[in-house]
Amino acid sequence: MGLDQRKPRHEAAHRLRGWALPGLVIIVSSLLALSGEWGREMLRYDRDAIAGGELWRLVSGHFVHLGLSHWVYNGVGLSLIWILVGQFLRSSQWLLVTCLSILCIDAGFWILEPQLQWYVGLSGVQHGYLAAGILAGFRERRVEMAVLGAVILAKLVYEQLIGPMPGSEFSSGGAVVTAAHLYGAIGGLIAIAILRIRARRQRSI
């Protein structure tokens, strides 16, 4: 009976650790939300300010939001993403996905979107999580991940050709920068490619 009790506790602890990264993201975003409009102005991705040397905005801009509705929208979205694909990578691997998604979004903005003056929000990074999680989970849940991948791909194509999904601007409380979704997804794919190359090299040693 003692063994039966320990196993559920071990599994619960493992699941809890798997939520460490999204939990941290939500906590950081919540704390930054308390700074209000002043915090958004100081922390958002702002092209002119970054050009002037305020490089922290390349990271902080992804964790501040337009307001309460935008924060809730992103927080709920992140939780749903983790329910769907969070179990397919370790926390350290998700951290790599986070960093590369942010890097690709910032590079895409700077090089390909010179007209974009400012940006806030986590939605670009969330698309990186989705892209990486779908690929990571494809072998284990082929049908489910294929369907989810097709939905996300259709969403990205729609956004690039037509514009934001219906209702997304109302839900977030402001304009949606759909380019961030595409660049974030590319970052997630690059992260998975790096992880797979690393795994193959380790197996060959």
Percent helix / strand / coil, the chain, rounded to 5: 75, 0, 20
Question: What is the domain count for the chain?
Answer: 1
Single pTM value for the model: 0.91
Domain housing 187: 2-204
pLDDT tens digit sequence for 76-120: 999 999 999 999 999 999 999 999 999 999 999 999 999 999 999
Q: Exposure of 5 by Cβ count < 10 A (0-12 exposed, 13-18 middle, 19+ buried)?
A: exposed
pLDDT tens digit sequence for 119-130: 999 999 999 999
Residue with token string 């919540």: 30
CATH of the domain at 117: 1.20.1540.10
Angle of helix 20-33 relative to helix 36-43, nearest 10 degrees, comes to 120
